[in-house]
Amino acid sequence: VVKDLSKPVLHKGHILYLDNWYCSLNLFVTLLNSKTNVIGTVRAKRKNMPKDFLRTKFKTGEYEMRSCNGLLAVKWKDKRDVFILSTKHTTVAITQQITKQHNPTWKLKCVIEYNKEVIGVDLQDQMLACFPLMRKCMKGYRKIFFYLFDMALFKSFILHNKINNEKRQGYAEYKLKITELSLENSSLPHYNRERELSNGELPLRLQAQQWSHFRKHIDPTSLNQHPKRRCVVCTKHKQRRETTWECKKCKIVLHVPTCFERYHTVKDY
């Protein structure tokens, strides 16, 4: 996969950053021979990785390295063991950083560079995993479509927050707003029910209970068996009119049928 995707950038001096799912010594050697440097995290038990990396126990901040034929392998102890492969670096360089608690800490330059370049990708994967569009029942090509659609939507969210000078909104809120805007100008599809219904399938007239809005009388109280309240639509137009009806799903008081229909079909009711 990596070889096929990287063909357009080979022999041009570019640098690739990979996670541990793709990294291996053989792949790094192949890309190095194609004049392309690579940096990435690697699994400790990958083929040809130094065996003593697994046996050695480190304290936080300690590291060990192996270098051969332009390939650098590093084990570094942070909160957990981190294994790095790099063809860009030939030796380990250490630099000081200040944490959020204003405490000095030492990190490897190859680790800092890797984190700097892949942090956006990790954030994207994390955000997409929280609000996925894909479902297990979907066919393969649909999963690919919705994954690409999800990525495009996330990138539009980043651009929106950069361009928009107002208060930044979260990804879930942004996604919900896009969905609402898409549905405003949409209408429910017309279904042709000429075919026979399969066992357990509801006729179209009964499917409305899953998505439609129905009217009902406002629930009585101990003091008033037929309570009335102000209609939301009338109130918006500065008219004080009361009714006994409300929407069962929205819990909004509305006159029937005019205000009820207007509230559910017009954006600026």
Q: Which of 50, 48, 6 is nearest to 31 (CA)?
A: 6
Contact 240, 230 (CB under 8 A): yes
Question: What one-letter code names the amino acid at 188?
Answer: L
Distance of CA 153 to the CA centre of its chain: 9
Domain region containing 111: 2-122
| 18 and 111 share one domain | yes
| 106 and 33 share one domain | yes
Contact 70, 31 (CB under 8 A): no
Number of domains in the chain: 3
| 6 and 117 share one domain | yes
Where does the pLDDT of residue 231 fall: very low under 50, low under 70, confident under 90, or very high at 90 and above?
very high
| 41 and 64 share one domain | yes
Residue 236 neighbours by CB distance under 10 Å: 12
Would residue 181 count as lying in a domain?
Answer: no
Contact 39, 84 (CB under 8 A): yes
| 99 and 81 share one domain | yes
| 108 and 11 share one domain | yes
Whether the full predicted model's pTM is greater than 0.95, yes or no, is no
CA–CA separation, 77 and 93 (whole Å):
15
Would residue 202 count as lying in a domain?
Answer: no
Would residue 144 count as lying in a domain?
Answer: yes
| 86 and 39 share one domain | yes
Structure-token pair, residue 51: 């065996």
What tens digit of pLDDT does each residue of 1-35 get? Answer: 777 888 888 888 888 888 777 788 888 888 888 88
Q: Following CA atoms 171, 172, 178, 180 in sequence, which dihedral angle do they give, to the nearest 10 degrees?
A: -160
Category of 257 on φ-ψ map: left (φ > 0), alpha (ψ -120 to 50) or beta: alpha
Where does the pLDDT of residue 228 fall: very low under 50, low under 70, confident under 90, or very high at 90 and above?
very high
Average pLDDT of the segment spanning 102-116 = 74
| 33 and 95 share one domain | yes
Length of the chain: 269
| 21 and 118 share one domain | yes
Q: Please identify, among 63, 95, 122, the residue that sits at the C-terminal boundary of a domain.
A: 122
| 114 and 18 share one domain | yes
Would residue 205 count as lying in a domain?
Answer: no
Structure-token pair, residue 248: 């069962």
Q: Following CA atoms 57, 59, 62, 63 in sequence, which dihedral angle do they give, to the nearest 10 degrees?
A: 20
Where does the pLDDT of residue 243 fall: very low under 50, low under 70, confident under 90, or very high at 90 and above?
very high
The pLDDT of residue 126 is above 80: no
Would residue 34 count as lying in a domain?
Answer: yes
What tens digit of pLDDT does each residue of 35-84 get? Answer: 888 888 888 788 888 877 777 787 877 778 888 888 888 888 877 888 88
Report the pLDDT value the prediction gives residue 138, as an integer from 0 to 100: 61
CB-count exposure of residue 191 (10 Å: 0-12, 13-18, 19+): exposed
